[in-house]
Amino acid sequence: MIERYTLPEMGRVWSEQHKYELWCKVETLVLEAHARAGVVPADCVEPVRQAPPPTPEAVAEVEKVTQHDVIAFLTAWADNTTPREAAAYVHHGMTSSDLLDTALALQLVEATDILLDKATELVAVLRDHALEHRRTLRVGRTHGIHGEPDVWGHRVADFAFAMARSRDRLRRARESVGVMAISGAVGTYSNIDPAVEAYVAEKLGLRQADVSTQVIMRDGIAEWVSALAIIATVCEAVALEIRHGQRTEVRELWEPFGKGQKGSSAMPHKKNPILCERICGLARVVRAQIVPVMEGIPLWHERDISHSSVERIALPDAAIATDYLLHLTTRVMRGLVVDADRMRQNLEATGGLIYSSAVLLELLKTNMSREDAYALTQAAAMETWNTGRPFRETLREQAAAAGKQLDEERLDEIFRPERYVERLDGVFERLEKLA
């Protein structure tokens, strides 16, 4: 992921230097387990533990010759070990995937914990915003067309619950990726005791793979990327709603616009929803990683490395982009401007047409058939669309023509938008308990 969208904490998790630090940690624990079992000399452990991790530059220089990243790492690390002979027992009985998959599990867990904290923060921001606007009336739209009265907090509550569910999916996915294996070539423990794997797993706080045929099956990683993609897409749903609300014709919502910010190089009046457009764009990047990662599940026999090149790109990109999306969506929601007056104006813009469904149900109480009641209501509505006259007036005319007398007190209640607020109390009671 490019630096523009990489936040420091998540960037460090996926840095080459941190990767080699984790590789050193895994290899040292394996060496320690061997020494405890008397398989390797006990005095080789401390020199290896004290050897600083090799730099990415040092590893890259060796890899130019070896064309093998793990061997290059082991060689460069051995160069930092004093005495160098102690490094001879590093990687004893292991295969490359033991190191790579176990260290990757640590990276995935670290990245997940960062994401979980930010997702929880966003849930709280969405929840609080929705509760603040539990009585802010707006028009609800279906197919982009005015439907019925709604409440802005109701819309945001849906986002809050969706993000909470997405966070909980990621918590479950954390269990699926926190899996390690130290089982040797072909995964049969032929040159390494299973007790070594158990020791390392306990020290790292990871779970031993149920089965490892050298490579840990990638279904858990595919689940993790899918969980990230859902989080990213919920962020996009929030951003898309705000983008619609900021359109000139709507003007109900405004993403934060800072002092000195410029909206357009050519049109000085512009306040464009650039943050929300960025969210929508980057969500595509996260979703795009699902299929390549999922295709790493089927591999040739016990091992090939067709998954490796994909994961070097897809996993950091998915994590870094999701981290940035959570950060940016939280920022937008914290600074979101809600124009309640404009929402009310838009609510009333169609002259009462948004009450047509309630009118239809009221007509049914006069013993009209549903077909006749629908026809009457639609005729009045079309008259309002065509002439701009209030729907209540055209409704009276159509009802009179049909020989029906409408109860004006009932119409007062039907055309009172506040009643829609009262019906949503249960939603906000549930929202108050959301954590």
- Catalytic positions: 143, 264
Q: b/e for 59-71, b at 16 or more Cβ within 10 A?
A: beebbeeeeebbb
**Beta strands at 137-142 and 145-151: parallel, antiparallel or unpaired:** antiparallel
The Cα 271–Cα 340 span in angstroms is 19
- Backbone φ, ψ for residue 259 (5° rounding): -60, 130
Ordered DSSP codes for 346-409: HHTTTTTGGGHHHHHHHHHTTT--HHHHHHHHHHHHHHHHHH---HHHHHHHHHHHTT----HH
Phi, psi of 139 (to 5 degrees): -85, 135
The answer to whether the CB of 102 falls within 8 A of the CB of 26 is yes
**How many angstroms from the chain centroid is the CA of residue 219?**
19
Q: Which amino acid is at 211?
A: V
Closest C-alpha among 418, 354, 421, 344 to residue 390: 354
Q: What are the CA-CA distances from residue 227 to residues 154, 220, 243 (Å)?
A: 25, 11, 24
Is 181 in contact with 208 (CB distance < 8 Å)?
Answer: yes
Burial of 234 (0-12, 13-18, 19+ CB in 10 A): buried
Task: Give the separation between CA 32 and CA 47, rounded to whole angstroms.
Answer: 12
Using CA atoms, how far apart are residues 196 and 21, in angstroms rounded to an integer? Answer: 20
Between CA 327 and CA 312 the distance in angstroms is: 23
The CA R_g of the chain, rounded to the nearest whole Å, is: 30
Contacts of 128 (CB under 8 A, 6+ apart): none
Tabulate helix, strand, coil % of the chain (nearest 5).
65, 5, 30
How far apart (Å, rounded) are the C-alpha atoms in residues 397 and 3?
65
Taking the chain, what is the end-to-end CA distance rounded to the nearest angstrom? 31
